[in-house]
Structure formats: structure tokens, C-alpha cells
Copies of this chain bind each other. A is one copy, B any other.
Amino acid sequence: MNSEKRDHLFLDDLHVGQTFTSPSHRLDTEQIKRFAQEFDPQSFHLDENAAAQSLFAGLAASGWHTAALTMRLLVNGGAPIAGGIIGAAVEIAWPKPTRPGDELHVVSEVEEIIPSRSKPDRGIVVLRSETRNQRSEVVQVLTSKLVVPRRQSSGKK
């Protein structure tokens, strides 16, 4: 994965409708089972035969694995926010399963920018991030409320 730093954006640099595209990550069976073993040990994430009989009709990654990988892709260029990606709250939907062999990337769009009234040095940005597979199917929709700093514009410089 690409971890080079790009110019990071402050609240003042963002506008509604602005989009970002992350690098991509290929998921395989070993990664799916390893994550599930540690954090979501349910048979449809661990065993092909059990998964075939389940609601998923085949081995599927834990939704929390998809979420964690999405974060990795946002950190690695998918959301170049100054000060880092700090979520106060999120909503997630998983419209389709993530499967072994899926190559995921994340396309994000700034939906709302809300300067803080009480803390003039920051604001909240609502970012909608779609995690898409190699067929451009959306496997996860993440809507995040991120804490984003403003550029320092006080007298000292």
C-alpha cells in the first residue's frame, strides 16, 4: 500500500463536494480468517463450508475487517486531513459482503463542513466514504464525523 504523504488539508481547505480516492488493497482468505479469528470468530468468516450454508452463501470478511481496512486506506492517502483522521462518530452500512480476492479502494466525498462555535481552532467535517470492490460494487458506506483543525491564523508567525 502507498504510504507517501500528500499535502494535508485543514478545515479552511475543504469544500462540500470535494472528493478523494484512496489506494487499493487486495484481500485474501488468509487475511479474512486471521482477522475473524481474533475479532469476529463466527463460522461464516472462518470456514468455507459453514459459510456456504449461511446467509452469506460463501466465505465473507467480517464487516469490522472491511471497516478497519477502509480506515487503513483513508490514512494512506484516502482522506488527507491535517492532524490525522479523528472520528467522533460514524455510521456504517454493509450493502454487500467482502469476499476473498476482492480488491478494495475507498472513494470519499465531503458532505458537510461545520465550524465549531465553542472551539474556534477546529470544526466537524462529515465525510461519506464508499468502499468499492474491483467491480465498483459498494461493499461498505461509512459516514464519519471528523474533527478537523483550522489553519492557525493568529498574529504570531
Chain A interfacial positions (CB closer than 8 Å to B): 3, 35, 38-44, 54-55, 62-64, 67-69, 71-72, 75-76, 83-94, 147
8 cross-chain CB contacts under 8 A: A35-B68, A39-B69, A40-B68, A41-B76, A63-B87, A89-B91, A89-B93, A90-B92
A41 to B69, CA, bound (A): 11
Protomer copies:
2
Residue of B40, B62, B75 touching A40 (CB-CB under 8 A): B75
Residues in B with CB closer than 8 Å to A84 are 42-44, 54
Asked if B75 contacts A71 (CB within 8 A), the reply is no
Residues in B with CB closer than 8 Å to A89 are 91-94
Residues in B with CB closer than 8 Å to A91 are 89-92
Nearest residue, chain B, Cβ from A76: B41
A67 to B147, CA, bound (A): 19
Nearest residue, chain B, Cβ from A50: B84
Decide: A71 near B40, CB < 8 A? Known: A87-B94, A88-B93, A94-B89.
yes
